[in-house]
C-alpha cells in the first residue's frame, strides 16, 4: 500500500516563472543546482510532455541514477507528476511518484510537493531525505530565479 508525504514551501518567485522551469526547461536544474544534479538526458519523447522519459544523475549523500517518466501535466493548475521506474531508488521503493504544484499566494507562491511511495520491505526508511532534497532545490531555484 502506497504512502504519501507532503511539504509546502513558500517562495518569492511568481508561480508562472517557477513552474515554467520545471515544465519547459527542467534541464536548467543541472546548471543551476550542480551540487544536487549532475546530469540529465532525455531518452524517450521530447522531455517536456507526458510519457517522456529522462535519465538523471544526481547526488543525495551518494551518487544516484534514475529513470523517470512524466506521468501527468496539468498546466492550468501548474502541476507535474514525475514517476521513477528504474534506478537506485527502486532498490528501496517499488513506487516512487513525486508531484509538484505551484500556486500563487500573496506576493509570492507556494510550492507543494507530494511524494507517493511504497517501500520494498518494512526495513526501508521513510524517504525524508528526498523531501529534504525537494525543499533544498525549491529554495535554491527560487533564489536563482530572483537574481535572474
Q: How many CB atoms lie within 10 A of CB 78?
A: 22
Residues 6+ apart with CB under 8 A from 22: 80, 100
pLDDT in tens, 8-56: 999 999 999 999 999 999 999 999 999 999 999 999 999 999 999 999 9
Q: Which domains does the chain have, with CATH numbers?
A: 3-33+73-147 (3.30.530.20)
At 110-127, the pLDDT tens digits run 999 999 999 999 999 999
Q: What three-state secondary structure class fits 54? A: strand
| DSSP E strand stretches across 12-142 | 37-44, 53-60, 62-74, 79-87, 93-105, 108-119
* CA count, 13 A, side-chain hemisphere, 57: 7
Please give the model's pTM, rounded to 2 decimal places.
0.93
The pLDDT, as a whole number, for residue 98 is 97
Amino acid at each position: 500500500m502506497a504512502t504519501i508525504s507532503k511539504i509546502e514551501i513558500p517562495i518569492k518567485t511568481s508561480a508562472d516563472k517557477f513552474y515554467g522551469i520545471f515544465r519547459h526547461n527542467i534541464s536548467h536544474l543541472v546548471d543551476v543546482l550542480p551540487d544536487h544534479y549532475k546530469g540529465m538526458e532525455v531518452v524517450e519523447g521530447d522531455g517536456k510532455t507526458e510519457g517522456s522519459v529522462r535519465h538523471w544523475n544526481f547526488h543525495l549523500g551518494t551518487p544516484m541514477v534514475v529513470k523517470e517518466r512524466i506521468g501527468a501535466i496539468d498546466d492550468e493548475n501548474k502541476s507535474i507528476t514525475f514517476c521513477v521506474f528504474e534506478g537506485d531508488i527502486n532498490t528501496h521503493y517499488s513506487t516512487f511518484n513525486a508531484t509538484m504544484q505551484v500556486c500563487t499566494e500573496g506576493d509570492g507562491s507556494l510550492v507543494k510537493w507530494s511524494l507517493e511511495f511504497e517501500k520494498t520491505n518494512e526495513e526501508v526508511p521513510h524517504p525524508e531525505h528526498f523531501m529534504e532534497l525537494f525543499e533544498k532545490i525549491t529554495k535554491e531555484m527560487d533564489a536563482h530565479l530572483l537574481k535572474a
